[in-house]
Amino acid sequence: LPIYDATLRAFPRSLVANGTGLVAGENLLPLAVGSGAVFIAHAFDDEIQKRIAGRAPTVGHVGDAMGDGFLVAGSVLGLFVTGQLVPAVRFREVTFDLMQGLVINSVLTSIVKLSVGRERPDSTNSRSFPSGHTSTSVMLATVLGSHLGPRVAIPAAALAAFVGASRIEHNRHYVSDVVAGATLGYVVGRTVTAHVRRDGGSERRVTVYPVASPDACGVLLTFRW
């Protein structure tokens, strides 16, 4: 199998490849499901906003801080630079994909926000759709989960869900904005980590074997962490 090039010189080339990879056939299903979910959620935007917004201010403030663009960008950039300097290949690949995902996700989220121009629930501006905090959080969770498996994917997904819910509570987004952000973040995350699936990295984490004997039959699951 070819060695994944996660060096700085490969970054522009990978950025172009991942950008075009967003329209790959394997992304059509999650995009279709996400679009359908956005359509359904839109019907409940006002009702959910009335029930959730302003009910738990601490949650809103914490989620706002967790998804702060400068904080996230600075953290990912720092990890990326570190990954380029240290000899740990796996760390370099993870941080490379995180940076790829951050750049692509940020550009796409900004384009959609400006194109749609939906007013926020608090009427501060017209950049409500989709939720950037949510798209970034889900993208990060998807990349980390693809590389590091369920032990990281589950808590990362829980944090992303928390951030998404906090945006509704904070009255900065409608639920359909959050669902759209989650869809975008997931598609970007799975696109920049497509090489993990191609080389079998993610599939080898869980293996299923059929087991049969004179006394019983079933399956054996093996996990590689």
176-198 pLDDT, tens digit each = 999 999 999 999 999 999 999 77
* Cα 85 to Cα 81: distance, rounded to the nearest angstrom: 7
* One-letter identity of residue 183: T
Residues 6+ apart with CB under 8 A from 59: 162, 165, 166, 169, 170
* Cα 179 to Cα 154: distance, rounded to the nearest angstrom: 18
- Model pLDDT, residue 206: 38
- Model pLDDT, residue 108: 97
- Residue-averaged pLDDT of the chain: 89
Quote the pTM value: 0.86
206-217 pLDDT, tens digit each = 333 344 444 444
Does the structure show a pLDDT above 70 at 79? yes
Confidence band of 218 (pLDDT split at 50, 70, 90) = very low
89-147 pLDDT, tens digit each = 999 999 999 999 999 999 999 999 999 999 999 999 999 999 999 999 999 999 999 99
* Cα 140 to Cα 101: distance, rounded to the nearest angstrom: 8
- Model pLDDT, residue 197: 78
Give percent of the chain with pLDDT exceeding 70.
87
| Closest C-alpha among 4, 190, 188 to residue 83 | 4
Q: Give the lowest-confidence range in 10-24, 34-48, 188-202.
A: 188-202
* Cα 114 to Cα 128: distance, rounded to the nearest angstrom: 9
Contacts 24+ apart (CB under 8 A), 107-113: 108/22, 108/135, 108/184, 108/188, 109/135, 109/136, 109/181, 109/184, 112/180, 112/184
Coil/strand/helix, residue 208 = strand
Query: What number is the average pLDDT over the span 21-47?
Result: 95
Does the structure show a pLDDT above 50 at 205? no
Query: What number is the average pLDDT over the span 10-24?
Result: 95
Evaluate whether 127 touches 114 at the Cβ level (below 8 Å): yes
- Model pLDDT, residue 3: 75
Q: How far from the centroid of its chain's Cα atoms is residue 56's Cα?
A: 25
- Model pLDDT, residue 200: 55
